[in-house]
Structures are given as C-alpha cells and as structure tokens.
Amino acid sequence: MQVQVGHYVAEQMENFIEDWGGDYWNWCCGVALDLEDRLFMDHLVDRRIGLYVHGDAGSDVAAKQVIEFLAAKGCMPTAKQEESGSRLVYAYRITATTRQ
C-alpha cells in the first residue's frame, strides 16, 4: 500500500514539474518532517511566488523512492536529508533567492 501512495505522489510531483516546463535540472527535491520549516526557512522558497509541490508518500521508504525517482529525472536532491521517519516529500524550483 505504501508503495502505491509513493507512486501516486511521485506522479503528481512529476505532473506539476512538467506543467511548469519540465526542466528538472532547475528543481531541488527532498524529504522533511516539517515542510513549512524546510521549504520556507531552510530553502528560502518565496511562499507567494515560488514554485513548489509537496506530498505525503506514506512512509520514509516510499519517500526515499519518490526522491530517487525525481533525481533520476534530473532533480537535484537536497544535501541535507531528514532523519528516519520523514515521509513528506517536496520539490521546488531553484531561483536566485533559494538556498539548496
């Protein structure tokens, strides 16, 4: 069941990135326990105009699979990965003001 949830989340994130041009090399992806803190504080994504997508993969194993899927398409995985239990995944478009 968890793999199916992860697959669904990966597909949704893939569709979002494709809808915004599909240039995966301009996107960063990762996992988080706290999406708000990670996206807006750590990565400095602009809440108003930044492009980002996120979802709950269902488990930390499925979350890692989602990140591996996006990385294989060209997304840059974040250098800092969350501790065990992180099932929330995200991707954001890299800009001059974001921090990877």
Q: Do residues 24 and 53 make contact, with C-beta atoms less than 8 angstroms apart?
A: no
> 70-90, pLDDT tens digit by residue?
999 999 998 766 666 789 999
**Whole-number pLDDT of residue 26:** 97
Q: Under 8 Å CB-to-CB from 29, ≥6 apart: which residues?
A: 13, 66, 67, 70, 71, 75, 76, 77, 78, 89, 90, 91
Amino acid identity, position 93: R
H/E element, 63? helix 60-73
Distance CA 65, CA 48 (A): 29
Half-sphere exposure of 45 (CA within 13 A, CB side): 22
> 16-66, pLDDT tens digit by residue?
999 998 899 999 999 999 999 999 999 999 999 999 999 999 998 899 999
Region label for 21, one of left (φ > 0), alpha (ψ between -120 and 50) or beta (otherwise): left
Quick check: pTM over 0.85? yes
